[in-house]
Chains A and B, each alone.
Chain A
Amino acid sequence: MDKNILDGCKKNDPQSQEKLYRQFYPAMFALCKCFFSDNHDILTAVNNGMLKVFRNIHQYDPAKGELFNWAYTTVRHAALTLIRDKKTKLTFELNENNGDAVINNPFKQLEWKDIYYYLDLLPANTRYVCSLYYLEGFSIKEIVNLIEMKEGTVKWHLNECRTRLKIIFEQHSARNRNIG
Chain B
Amino acid sequence: MNSIPLETETLDKKKVHINVANDKGYPEPDVPVQEAWESMQQLLVQTPAATVAASGFKNWLRKGWGKIMIGTAIAATVSLIAYVVINKETVKRDSLPATDTVHNSAPVPDTLMPAAKEKRISFEFSNTPFKQVAAYMEKEFGIQIMLKGNIGNCNITTRFDNNSLKEMLDVMAYTLAFEYIIDEDKKQVTISGNGCN
Whether A29 is near chain B, meaning CB under 8 Å from some CB there, is yes
Chain A residues, CB < 8 A from B33 = 21-22, 25-26
Q: Which of B38-46, B97-105, B115-123, B125-133 contacts A (4 or more CB under 8 A)?
A: B38-46
Question: Which chain B residue lies CB-closest to A52?
Answer: B52
Whether A24 is near chain B, meaning CB under 8 Å from some CB there, is yes
| Given A25-B29, A55-B47, A55-B49: A68 and B21 interface contact (C-beta under 8 Å) | yes
Q: Which of A90-98, A104-112, A155-163, A167-175 contacts B (4 or more CB under 8 A)?
A: A104-112
Chain A residues, CB < 8 A from B3 = 103-104
Inter-chain contact B11/A26, CB cutoff 8 Å: no
Chain A residues, CB < 8 A from B88 = none
Inter-chain contact A42/B31, CB cutoff 8 Å: yes
36-77 of chain A: CB within 8 A of chain B = 39, 42-43, 46-48, 50-52, 54-56, 58, 66, 68-69, 72
Residue among B14, B15, B17, B31 having the largest count of chain A Cβ atoms under 10 Å: B17
| Given A43-B39, A51-B47, A69-B19: A30 and B29 interface contact (C-beta under 8 Å) | yes
Kindly state the interface size class of chain A when it binds its partner. 35 or more
Inter-chain contact B36/A26, CB cutoff 8 Å: no
Chain B residues, CB < 8 A from A50 = 40
Inter-chain contact B11/A137, CB cutoff 8 Å: yes
Inter-chain contact B21/A24, CB cutoff 8 Å: yes
Query: Can you pick out 9 interface pairs between chain A and chain B where the beta carbons lie within 8 Å of each other?
Result: A1-B21, A21-B36, A26-B23, A26-B27, A39-B31, A42-B30, A68-B21, A112-B14, A135-B14
With A26-B27, A51-B52, A66-B21 already in contact, 9 other A-B pairs whose C-beta atoms are closer than 8 Å: A14-B41, A24-B21, A25-B36, A25-B37, A27-B20, A43-B36, A55-B53, A58-B53, A107-B14
